[in-house]
Amino acid sequence: MADVFVSYARPDEPQSKRVADALHDAGYCVWRDDELPAHRAYADVIQERLTSAGAVVVLWSAEAAKSQWVRAEADAARTLGTLVQATLDGSIPPIPFNQIQCAHLEQWRGETDSPGWRKLQASVAALAGQPDMNEAQAKPARERSICVLPFANMSGDAEQEYFSDGISEDITTDLSKVSALAVTARNTAFTFKGQSVDVCEVAKKLGVSHVLEGSVRKAGGRVRITAQLIDGASGDHIWAERYDRELNDIFAIQDEISKAIVDALKIRLLPEEKKAIEQRGTENAEAYNLYLLARQYWVTGNHGDRSREQRVVRICERAVEIDPEYARAWALLAIAQSNLRYGFGLPGSDGAEAAERALALDPTIAEAYCVTARKRFENGDLENAEAELRKGLTLDPQSWDLNKAAGFVLLKQRKVTEAAEAYERAVAATETDYHGWGMLLTCYQGLKDSRTETAARNALEQCERVLAQDPDNGAAISFAVGALAALGEAERAKSWIDRALLIDPDNLNMRYNFACALSILDEREAALDMLESALSNARGSLGMADIDPDLENIRGEPRYQAIIADAKARIAKAQAEAAAGGAIPPAAASTPPRS
């Protein structure tokens, strides 16, 4: 078990990793919650790790002081006598922790001779004991670390952004396979997208030794990629190259960039790491390009608009026609087909066949389990739906698709805390996902979590970003209204509702979300009117309506009970009629609220 447990707030992730790495290099066994196993309950693991740790290092900041998790972990450590405190931004720890000594790590970049670090390490040693120096020397120092900034799209066409983003993500993934190199997560790197940045400031902020930046220009059948590896301390170029080739050479270019970085950093690449980097899933550049395009539509498209799924299906069908062995394209095709069948009640495949094909080609394709889980969920088997998702999360604990699906299934089971954790992982994987932020906001409101306002502001920011490009995106409008309601901006929220209903009066999913927002604002009659209009014409399931935390203010109203009872009776009747006629069961035939 861990000698040292590190407690921190999510915004302090880069600093917490720096502290954990320094303790690790000093010879301690260190545990943070990024090592949570996918198959176990969050609270159980935290309790176990806290209890077994010789020292619990709590990293205070303005954000950490607001976190109920950090406070709870600090309180447990204080009771156990294992508490070690440090402040990252000069904030004084909240009561009662302000009565205990605290090391100062403001502006700390990993220097082992700084007074604040020496104080923290001495306290850790007093509680957890001196580390085994022989073991410490045997552990590889994580001195080489890198952030891959999003490559700039130089194609002169904003619609080519998916390609440059895909290249950046794939290079990040490749470098993550090198055990001797620490790589900044994709979502953190992409916070700098579109910004004019000082590379040294980026390196300092993230605590990395090197930064990779570049650009992509794709035109016709050719691609030009430039890449520069920069020393984060000095700003000097360590390596730079320009590749001007046929598009069919895209995989070779990515391999060359990754290997050039490894060589420049003087890292020894293990044979299995070299092999892992070279595995692309397809050797066909056209199929790869189509997959990146489909993935972009999937991530950024309008939730609740069937055209998103239909577009993804068409593109992925073409990709697997070109390369029938492309597992990633089969998996994305399966998810989109499943959504069309169960989310919109359209005839056709439920995605099961495509998911089976993906797993047969590559058993590590985690997202395919979204489809098997969805099928069980629609049949009312929530327990086994959750089990299927956990299989996928074992393969890829940070998967955006799987964590979002898990959040919904867990929330439907009233496991709100676990649902919140799943949505936290989802927005960490793709923090521009307004839908994920909106669902996380719902969880936080149900839990009365101190991070509710932060989630609301993030949801609103991402919705406004999408609406700047697509003003008619009903899902983004509805989640923006929910965020405004959570922030107490009632007049602005109601103004957006009036405008949205003029633009898209038939969007039932949007109406349901408006009912949630009006409930939050305690506009009870208006919320009930909106809920009734959302459910009375829907052919499908209630989604979350019967358990949604956002509807808590109206759940005790007799009219609410009548609306839910009427919807359940209508659905049961339609199910029986459909079963008799062999049609798609209506419980799976419309967009579930909150999808």
Q: What one-letter code names the amino acid at 231? A: D
Please give the residue that has the higher pLDDT: either 270 or 399.
399
Helical (H) or strand (E) element with 217: strand 210-219
Query: Is it the case that residue 567 has pLDDT exceeding 70?
Result: yes
In the three-class reduction of DSSP (H, G, I as helix; E, B as strand; rest coil), residue 441 is classed as helix
In this prediction, residue 334 carries a pLDDT of: 96
Query: Is it the case that residue 193 has pLDDT exceeding 90?
Result: no
Query: Is it the case that residue 68 has pLDDT exceeding 90?
Result: no
Rounded Cα gap, residues 115 and 272, in angstroms: 41
In this prediction, residue 437 carries a pLDDT of: 92
Strand ranges, E, within 32-128: 55-60, 83-87, 103-104
Rounded Cα gap, residues 198 and 98, in angstroms: 36
Q: How many CA atoms lie within 13 A of 394 on its CB side?
A: 10
Cα–chain-centroid distance for residue 457? 17
Lowest-confidence pick of 221-235, 250-264, 580-594: 580-594
Tens-digit pLDDT profile for residues 206-238: 888 999 999 999 887 888 999 999 998 888 888
Query: Is it the case that residue 591 has pLDDT exceeding 50?
Result: no
In this prediction, residue 480 carries a pLDDT of: 95
Tens-digit pLDDT profile for residues 320-330: 999 999 999 99
Q: Are strands 152-153 and 210-219 parallel, antiparallel or unpaired?
A: parallel
In this prediction, residue 590 carries a pLDDT of: 41
Backbone torsions φ then ψ of 231, nearest 5 degrees:
-70, 120
Instruction: Report CA-CA distances (Å) from 351 to 171, 339, 359.
Output: 30, 8, 12
Lowest-confidence pick of 87-91, 160-164, 166-170, 582-586: 582-586
In this prediction, residue 425 carries a pLDDT of: 86
Q: What one-letter code names the amino acid at 361? A: L
Nearest to 83 by CA among 92, 73, 91, 93: 73
- On the 0-12 / 13-18 / 19+ scale of CB atoms within 10 A, 318 is middle
Rounded Cα gap, residues 199 and 235, in angstroms: 7
Task: Answer for the pair 519, 552: CB distance below 8 angstroms, yes or no.
Answer: yes
Tens-digit pLDDT profile for residues 374-409: 999 888 888 999 999 999 988 888 788 899 999 999
Tell me the average pLDDT of the chain.
84
Query: Is it the case that residue 51 has pLDDT exceeding 70?
Result: yes
Tens-digit pLDDT profile for residues 447-502: 998 889 999 999 999 899 888 878 888 888 999 999 999 999 999 999 999 999 98
In this prediction, residue 135 carries a pLDDT of: 43
Q: What one-letter code names the amino acid at 337? A: Q
In this prediction, residue 79 carries a pLDDT of: 84
Query: Is it the case that residue 538 has pLDDT exceeding 70?
Result: no
Query: Is it the case that residue 105 has pLDDT exceeding 50?
Result: yes
Rounded Cα gap, residues 78 and 97, in angstroms: 9
Q: Are strands 30-31 and 182-183 parallel, antiparallel or unpaired?
A: unpaired
Instruction: Report CA-CA distances (Å) from 162 to 4, 186, 224, 254, 479.
Output: 41, 15, 15, 16, 24
SS (H, E, C) 285-334: HHHHHHHHHHHHHHHHCCCCCHHHHHHHHHHHHHHHHHCCCCHHHHHHHH
What separation, in Å, do the N-terminal and C-terminal C-alpha atoms of the chain show? 40
Nearest to 575 by CA among 567, 564, 583: 583
Domains delineated in the chain:
4-138 (3.40.50.10140), 145-280 (3.40.50.10610), 282-363 (1.25.40.10), 432-595 (1.25.40.10)
Residues in CB range of 92: below 8 A, 6 or more apart: 98, 102
Query: Is it the case that residue 246 has pLDDT exceeding 60?
Result: yes
Tens-digit pLDDT profile for residues 150-167: 999 888 777 788 888 888
Please give the residue that has the higher pLDDT: either 136 or 524.
524
Rounded Cα gap, residues 398 and 395, in angstroms: 9
Query: Is it the case that residue 574 has pLDDT exceeding 90?
Result: no
Name the CA dihedral angle for 198, 202, 208, 210, rounded to a multiple of 10 degrees.
-30
Query: Is it the case that residue 316 has pLDDT exceeding 70?
Result: yes
